[in-house]
Amino acid sequence: MITKQLENIIEKYKITQTDNIIYGTNIPMPNAVIPTPWKTYIKFDQTEYYFFLFNEKGITIYPTNGETYAIIPWEEIEDFKISHIFILGKMTIKTKQAKLNFQINRFVFGCPWIKKNTMYLEGNNYFYKK
């Protein structure tokens, strides 16, 4: 499923370099807390899935539905951090306008390209030069 979605994005946007793409999600935030006598329910924002393309120009974020994309040039990024926790990671992108937090999947069963691409990007510091 993930690989098919990536193939659709690559074909639609004519992406030629594919070893610098990784997969991840937004970090859903709680939007409601509902206490009851028996337990407390917490409702979260909807999880959205993305492909992240890194290169010398910046970070391009493609939603998996392939309807649109966003480019964040390195010049606009004030702070960029990636932390790793086993098979997951957290990516924080801070610009003057916003602070974006994402969860990065470093490994997904059936998608060996994710692990390979993650290792490639780590070796190149995600093309981040600051």
82 in a domain, yes or no?
no
pLDDT digits (tens, 9 = 90+) for 1-56: 888 999 999 999 999 989 999 999 998 777 777 888 888 877 777 889 999 999 99
96 in a domain, yes or no?
no
88 in a domain, yes or no?
no
What stretch of H or E contains 91? strand 88-95
23 in a domain, yes or no?
yes
99 in a domain, yes or no?
no
pLDDT band at 109 (very low <50, low <70, confident <90, very high): confident
102 in a domain, yes or no?
no
- Whole-number percent of the chain with pLDDT over 70: 99
For the chain, the domain total comes to 1
Residues whose CB is less than 8 angstroms from the CB of residue 19 and which lie 6 or more positions away in sequence, other chains included: 116, 117, 120
27 in a domain, yes or no?
yes
Reported for 63-67, long-range contacts at CB under 8 A and 24+ positions apart, including other chains, are: 64/2, 64/5, 64/9, 66/5, 66/8, 66/9, 66/12
Residue type, 44: F
Residue 63 confidence (pLDDT) above 80: yes
Range of the domain at 14: 2-75+110-127
Q: How far apart are CA 23 and CA 114, in angstroms?
A: 7
67 in a domain, yes or no?
yes
Q: What is the pLDDT of residue 77?
A: 95
